[in-house]
Amino acid sequence: MMHRIERTFAGRRLVIETGRMAKQAAGSALIQFGDTMVLAAVTVSDKRSTLPFFPLTVEYKEKTYAAGKIPGGFIKREGRPRDEEILSCRIIDRSIRPLFPEGFQNEVQVFIYVISADQENDADVLGLLATSFALSASRIPWAGPIASVRVGRVEDKWVLNPTFQALEFSDMDLVVAGTADSIMMVEGGALEISEEDVVEGLGIAQRGIKELIAMQEELLAKVTVEKMAWSKSETPADVLKTVTKAAKARIEAAINQKEKHTRIEAVEAVKSAVKEEMATVLAPEQLPFVGSVLGDLEYTSLRDQVLETGLRVDGRKPTEVRPISIDTGLLPRAHGSALFTRGQTQALVAATLGTGNDVQRQDSIDTAKETTKAFMLHYNFPPFSTGEVRPMRGTSRREIGHGNLAERAIQGVLPEFADFPYTIRIVSDVLESNGSSSMASVCGGSLSCFDAGIPLKGAVAGVAMGLIKEGKKYAILTDILGTEDHLGDMDFKVAGTKDGITSIQMDIKIQGLDLKIMTEALAQAKEGRLHILGEMSKVLDAPRAELSPWAPRIVTIHINPEKIGDLIGPKGKTIRGIQEETGAELTVDDAGLVTIAAVGGEAMERARQMVAAITAEPEVGLTYEGTVKSVTAFGAFIEIMPGTEALLHVSEMRHTRVEKPEDVVKKGERVTVKLVERDERGRLRLSMKALLPKPGAGEPGAAVAPTVAPEGDAYATTEGAPVAEAPVEGADEGRSERPRRDGGRGGRGGSGGRGPRK
């Protein structure tokens, strides 16, 4: 049976529906917000998995038909998820995972399809809403419902679920998920906002979340589904007592090793020894429980130590950051590089400057047209960084998520593209990992940009915060280790400048946090971030004054958009010719902004001159050297610029009457003319006589009184008109006698007569 609820949320119509689509799934839901629609379907296996972790799979797919599009490229069907789909998938996975009961091991699959996209409302928060209702209305045990909202701030006003258009004017973009009284997940970026503003935004989000949960609960009251039966594997009390007595003290001693691999080896040695001992003490059917008891002892030992003594396993206090070392400029041919090491976490980060041809082109159902991206940060996490051997299967979802987090952190302080027209790519290769390699990538990325001479608005650093919470007792940890992340309750990453936060991400393993703990965590994170920024400033406190000698130099020219076709030429022939001749790279956008990039200054200047020659606008009053394209009865058409012809009327050829234009100019000749007029229709009029001496100044044909040449004079008179004794070498009748720039070779203009090719 179909059930449906409709309300107004954030000023738009929101519909939750179940029972019409995907009825054979364990649970399904259809969400519509505006004209964006999302379908979620969940299924569960009846068999308990033997895997050592909860097997949850989340798939988020954007159907291109949702926006009336056909996939580009040769394969006309949806393929590998785009980065944006993976990021949306991770938001949903991280939000719902903590709410499955501990010990539940049946495999669960969640599918989210975006089936309609209005290109105004983002589907990611709707995907979590649909998933929440589908799980709540299914037989799968789950402690929901939950909901998520996006929070923006436009002109100091908070906006729930802002449209794509509104987000362009927002200084914050936060996705928040949670229950009615606690927060489960935070993901987003901002333009150097304060910790207080983040907390206020989280409060705004909670109000919207409560409203969405109330809608779900109202509809769930009409849906009757019996939850599946399952049982948690319980450890026998005698096994628990025996193993605890044998192992607890030894594990407590083993975990307190400062070095990661020493600690792991010590703990594993204790576990192996205890298992061997238990094989002689316990019955065979009791031995499978030993491993889980040892794991629980490691978990409780670390947590109890922090809560009771305030000391962590590597000897640090809760607010203490590990030692930091930094090297910059260590890669001679990279445009900018940094090696950032914090404890046993190390990232080698390189920044590369490119041109407009290097932008990433993106096709999405969220926009009508293809978009471009001029800043990228790519994060790589090879297995050797943790000393492991594991299969290499391409870029993982984790790598995409961590790279996006670091990218947002730096993106908020990049210079405007108009002021620094480079495509920027940062690559972070994690060489060692023991906690928070994404934040090391932020620090290294900022330093590599400084090393490359990129004028960031400020240095950016990041720190990962952890949490140990038992009942009302808790401890917030700064700069967490991998062990503290694995055995703790929270991974809260905060990145920003000295002036504010630029990127934030929070995952928790418990069922929600209140704003009080988050406020404390943000304040403690700020202290850690400022400490790290101080260490970074000791090495490089500002962008280098000069770009790397291996980086391209870029100059921009604004041309008349109507001249874009002239610059590009038929099938790109003209612009390719400039690039081939000069070695520079040229790009031009629809507004007429031409970007010229070249490693050498001479190549860039030559390309600039060639572009200027092709796209220059004729200016009244200037003199041009042009080619006669055609001769008519009333004059001649002269090409004064590539693709620009103007009329030289017969009346403008001489001060005296000219009967036949071809007596003065011939097709293909190079002549010097002056542009004297542009009429209201844009037509150009040229003149030759404006460049000739006026009558009485010695011009041929001038009417003067007859004279008798003095003895020895070089002139004789014929009907009162002085005539030159001999023509000037290289000059034809009626042509200017000034030397030509092309040296008489008949080129198209410019030095040597080569000029721009068309």
pLDDT digits (tens, 9 = 90+) for 340-390: 999 999 999 999 999 888 899 888 899 888 888 999 999 999 999 999 999
Q: Confirm if 373 and 354 have CB atoms less than 8 A apart.
A: no
C-alpha 113, offset from chain centre: 24
Give CA torsion, residues 640, 645, 646, 652, to 10 deg: 60
pLDDT, residue 714, reads 31
Which residue from 128, 161, 160 is spatially nearest to 145, judged by alpha carbons?
Answer: 128
| Confidence category of residue 106, pLDDT binned at 50, 70, 90 | very high
Closest CA to 495 of 455, 526, 457, 520: 526
Residue with tokens 């290769």: 429
Q: What is the pLDDT of residues 179-216, one digit of tens each?
A: 998 999 999 999 999 999 999 999 999 999 999 999 99
Greater model confidence, 8 or 52: 8
Predicted local confidence at residue 566, as pLDDT:
86
How many Cβ atoms from other residues are within 10 Å of residue 506's Cβ? 24
Mean pLDDT of 701-705: 39
Of 400-409, 583-592, 629-638, the range with the highest mean pLDDT is: 400-409
Give the fold, CATH level 3, of 3-220: Ribosomal Protein S5; domain 2 (3.30.230)
pLDDT recorded at residue 250 = 96
User: How many CB atoms are located within 10 Å of the residue 719 CB?
Assistant: 7
Domain-by-domain residue ranges, the chain? Answer: 3-220, 237-309, 324-539, 553-615, 623-753
Instruction: Quote the CA–CA distance of 359 and 375 in Å, as a whole number.
Output: 8
Mean pLDDT, residues 305-320 taken together: 95
How deeply is 110 buried, as exposed, middle or buried, from its count of CB atoms within 10 A (0-12, 13-18, 19+)? buried
E strand or H helix that includes residue 234: none
pLDDT value at 699 more than 50: no
Q: Report pLDDT digits (tens) over 57-105.
A: 999 999 999 999 999 878 899 889 999 999 999 999 999 999 999 999 9
| 246/274 Cα distance (integer angstroms) | 7
Per the prediction, the chain carries an average pLDDT of 89
Number of other CB atoms surrounding residue 571 within 10 Å: 7
Q: What is the pLDDT of residues 136-181, one digit of tens each?
A: 999 999 998 999 999 999 999 999 999 999 999 999 999 999 999 8
The stretch 287-315 carries a mean pLDDT of 94
Upper half-sphere CA count for residue 490 (Cβ side, 13 Å) = 30
Same-fold call for 237-309 versus 623-753: no
Nearest to 551, CA basis, from 330, 332, 403, 327: 332
Strands 106-116 and 157-160: unpaired
Residue 448 is predicted with a pLDDT of 98
Other Cβ atoms less than 10 A from the Cβ of 459: the count is: 23
pLDDT above 90 as % of the chain = 71
pLDDT reported for residue 737: 33
H helices present in 583-646, as ranges:
601-615
Q: Which of the two residues, 30 and 725, has the higher pLDDT score?
A: 30
Give, in words, the CATH class of 553-615: alpha beta
Q: For the segment 424-467, what is each residue's pLDDT rounded down to a tens digit?
A: 999 999 999 998 999 999 999 999 999 999 999 999 999 999 99
CA gap 349, 377 in Å, rounded: 10
| Side-chain half-sphere exposure of 656, counting CA atoms within 13 A | 12
Fold of the CATH domain 623-753: OB fold (Dihydrolipoamide Acetyltransferase, E2P) (2.40.50)
The per-residue pLDDT for 747 is 33
Backbone angles phi, psi at 467, to 5 degrees: -145, 135
CB 363 within 8 A of CB 370: yes
Cα gap 542→215, rounded to integer Å: 51
The pLDDT of residue 614 is: 83
Please tell me the predicted confidence (pLDDT) of residue 732: 38
The correct answer on CATH 3.30.70.270 for the domain covering 324-539 is: no
For residue 696, the model assigns a pLDDT of 64
Angle separating helix axes 397-411 and 83-96, nearest 10 degrees: 100
pLDDT at 697: 53
Domain 237-309 has CATH 1.10.10.400: yes
Residues in the chain: 758
